[in-house]
A = this chain, B = another copy of it.
């Protein structure tokens, strides 16, 4: 059986909000190392990969592998019932029909409990190869969000060019063109404002802004976002969470005429 207690119901709320537009139904794969989720969007252009390590819960108990097939719209409805500071406990049997969510107010004077019916979901197993990326950019997640929104006013696509000079986000559209260039810099007082660029080879790739803007819904989960790029390989957008948990998005580049 699964029993996982999350001090901040809010964390799951934000995670589900960030992925529910991409994926409708998916398995939450639970085992003793934590709860994982991997799914492609309908158009098979983007992939989301979530890992909530057992250390992010206290306590965490999961004896066997359990796949919880959940409709994210239903889960969203239930999670809306959580107050922001509520403690959330997820529970499921070994061969479950339902997953059980319990919300406790911090003062324990209020307990709400919900069961969500589970569904059988064909697990197309997604091997994501560990890649060495040619360029890795860390930057404030709010800044990345801002850039994507600004450029979306002009175009559907953005090119991300990373050289040792810095990283340039650029687009062309009907009304004109735009670009934002960032140089790496370090702010000792506010490390969340750092921009760090780690480059082994210059890269230049083009992506759909609509997807990137969608990924940016995760911005509130982490002050920093990491962009990992290699030519002709999907972009990795990673929001690191506490305890080595993470929320990652992969997005295939646009190629040739698509741009």
Return the contact of A175 from the options B74, B151, B154 (Cβ within 8 A). Answer: B74
A115, A143, A175: most-surrounded residue (chain B CB, <10 A): A175
Q: Are B110 and A181 in contact (CB under 8 A)?
A: yes
Q: Are B153 and A78 in contact (CB under 8 A)?
A: yes
Select from chain B the residue with minimum beta-carbon distance to A169.
B112
Give the distance in Å from the alpha carbon of A154 to the alpha carbon of B150 in the complex.
38
Q: Are B150 and A113 in contact (CB under 8 A)?
A: no
CB contacts (< 8 Å) of A195 on chain B: these are 109
Give the distance in Å from the alpha carbon of A74 to the alpha carbon of B41 in the complex.
32
> Known: A77-B154, A153-B78, A153-B80. Is A110-B176 also a contact (CB below 8 A)?
no
A-B contact pairs, 24 of them (CB 8 A): A77-B154, A77-B175, A78-B153, A78-B154, A80-B150, A80-B153, A81-B150, A81-B151, A81-B153, A98-B176, A109-B182, A109-B195, A110-B182, A111-B180, A112-B178, A113-B180, A114-B154, A114-B176, A114-B177, A115-B178, A116-B175, A116-B176, A117-B174, A117-B175
Copies of this chain, complex-wide, total 2
Q: Are B117 and A176 in contact (CB under 8 A)?
A: yes
> Does any Cβ of B come within 8 Å of A64's Cβ?
no
> Does any Cβ of B come within 8 Å of A210's Cβ?
no
Tell me how far the C-beta of A167 lies from the nearest C-beta in chain B, rounded to whole angstroms.
11
> Does any Cβ of B come within 8 Å of A179's Cβ?
yes
Excluding A109-B185, A114-B154, A115-B177, 20 further A-B contacts by CB distance (< 8 Å) are A71-B175, A74-B176, A78-B153, A78-B176, A80-B150, A81-B151, A81-B178, A81-B180, A98-B176, A109-B182, A109-B195, A110-B143, A110-B180, A110-B181, A113-B179, A114-B176, A114-B179, A115-B176, A116-B175, A117-B174
Binary contact track A67-84/B, C-beta < 8 Å → 1, others 0: 000010010011011000
A residues 183-225 touching B (CB-CB < 8 Å): 183, 185, 195
Select from chain B the residue with minimum beta-carbon distance to A154.
B77
A71, A107, A109, A112: most-surrounded residue (chain B CB, <10 A): A112
Binary contact track A135-162/B, C-beta < 8 Å → 1, others 0: 0000000010000001101100000000
CB contacts (< 8 Å) of A180 on chain B: these are 81, 110-113
Binary contact track A46-79/B, C-beta < 8 Å → 1, others 0: 0000000000000000000000000100100110
